[in-house]
Amino acid sequence: MLRSLAIRDFVIVDSVELELSKGFTVLTGETGAGKSILVDALELLVGGRADASVVREGAERAELAAEFEASGPLAAYLEESELGGDPGVLLVRRVIDRSGRSRAFVNGRGATLAQLKEVGEYLVDIHGQHAHQSLMRPVAQRALLDGHAGIESIVREAGDAYRAWKRLEALAAEAAEQYAQRELERAELQDKVSELKRLGPAEGEWDALVAEHSRLAHGSSLVAGAESSLESLSEADDATLARLAAVAAQLRGLSDHDPMLVPIVELLESAEAQVSEAARELRNYASKIELDPDALRSVEARTEALHAAGRKFRVKPPELPQLAKDLKQRLAELELAANPEALQKQVAALKDAYLVLAKRLSEKRKAAAGALSKAVTAGMQELAMGGGRFAVQLTALQEPAAHGLEDVVFEVASHPSLPLRPLGKVASGGELSRISLALQMVASKSSPVATLVFDEVDSGIGGAVAEIVGRSLKALGRERQALAVTHLPQVAAQGDEQWTVAKAGGKGRVRTSVTRLDRAGRVEELARMLGGTEITPTTRKHAAELLGR
pLDDT of amino acid 399:
94
Mean pLDDT of 66-85: 83
Q: pLDDT tier at 518 (50, 70, 90 boundaries)?
A: very high
pLDDT of amino acid 219:
67
pLDDT of amino acid 408:
93
Q: pLDDT tier at 494 (50, 70, 90 boundaries)?
A: very high
User: Per mean pLDDT, which of 299-303, 314-318, 435-439 is the most reliable?
Assistant: 314-318
Mean pLDDT of 346-369: 94
Complete edge-to-edge strand list for the sheet that includes strand 421-422: 389-401, 404-413, 421-422
- CA gap 267, 285 in Å, rounded: 27
Number of residues in the chain: 549
Domains of the chain: 1-129+456-462+480-516 (3.40.50.300), 178-338 (no CATH)
- CA gap 206, 316 in Å, rounded: 10
pLDDT of amino acid 516:
92
pLDDT over 80 at 428, yes or no: no
pLDDT over 90 at 94, yes or no: yes
Q: pLDDT tier at 433 (50, 70, 90 boundaries)?
A: low
Backbone angles phi, psi at 114, to 5 degrees: -60, -45
More confident site: 107 or 426:
107
277: burial class by Cβ within 10 Å (0-12, 13-18, 19+)? exposed
Q: For residues 45 and 66, is the Cβ–Cβ distance under 8 A?
A: yes
CB atoms within 10 A of CB 339: 12
- CA gap 450, 442 in Å, rounded: 15
pLDDT over 80 at 296, yes or no: no
- CA gap 47, 360 in Å, rounded: 32
pLDDT over 70 at 86, yes or no: yes
Q: pLDDT tier at 229 (50, 70, 90 boundaries)?
A: confident
DSSP output for 196-248 = HHHH---TTHHHHHHHHHHHHHTHHHHHHHHHHHHIIIIISTT-HHHHHHHHH
pLDDT of amino acid 212:
76
pLDDT over 90 at 5, yes or no: yes
- CA gap 313, 184 in Å, rounded: 18
pLDDT over 80 at 45, yes or no: yes
pLDDT of amino acid 292:
67
Regarding beta strands 481-485 and 509-516, do their DSSP bridges make them parallel or antiparallel, or are they unpaired? unpaired
pLDDT of amino acid 505:
67
pLDDT over 70 at 422, yes or no: yes
- CA gap 385, 472 in Å, rounded: 14
- CA gap 533, 525 in Å, rounded: 11
Mean pLDDT of 492-507: 84
Q: For residues 367 and 392, is the Cβ–Cβ distance under 8 A?
A: no
* Distances in whole angstroms, Cα of residue 132 to Cα of each of 291, 433, 443: 78, 6, 14
Question: Which of 291, 352, 343, 366 minimizes the C-alpha distance to 175?
Answer: 343
For residue 514, give the DSSP letter: E
pLDDT of amino acid 67:
93
Question: Which of 505, 507, 506, 498 minimizes the C-alpha distance to 527?
Answer: 498
Question: Which of 38, 39, 47, 40 minimizes the C-alpha distance to 17?
Answer: 38
Mean pLDDT of 108-136: 77
For 70-102, letters b (16+ CB in 10 Å) and e give beeebbebbeeeebbeeeeebbbbbbbeeeeeb
pLDDT of amino acid 373:
93
Report the phi/psi class of residue 338: left, alpha or beta, with left for phi > 0 and alpha for psi in -120 to 50.
alpha
How many Å from the N-terminal Cα to the C-terminal Cα in the chain?
A: 27
More confident site: 236 or 162:
162
pLDDT of amino acid 384:
73
- Stated as kind and residue range, the H or E segment containing 13 is strand 13-19
Question: Which of 35, 138, 32, 13 minimizes the C-alpha distance to 498?
Answer: 35
How do residues 281-295 score in pLDDT, each as one tens digit? 888 877 766 666 777
Q: For residues 265 and 251, is the Cβ–Cβ distance under 8 A?
A: yes
Mean pLDDT of 199-203: 84
Percentage of residues of the chain with pLDDT beyond 90: 21
pLDDT of amino acid 39:
86
Amino acid (one-letter) located at 262: V
Q: For residues 369 and 375, is the Cβ–Cβ distance under 8 A?
A: no
Backbone angles phi, psi at 97, to 5 degrees: -95, 175
pLDDT over 70 at 174, yes or no: yes
- CA gap 412, 50 in Å, rounded: 37
Helix (H, G, I), strand (E, B) or coil at 127: strand
pLDDT over 60 at 132, yes or no: no
DSSP output for 271-307 = HHHHHHHHHHHHHHHHHH----HHHHHHHHHHHHHHH
| Rg of the Cα atoms in the chain | 36
Worst-scoring range by mean pLDDT, 128-132, 160-164, 239-243, 455-459? 128-132
Mean pLDDT of 184-213: 83
Mean pLDDT of 489-516: 82
Helix (H, G, I), strand (E, B) or coil at 459: coil
- CA gap 549, 531 in Å, rounded: 19
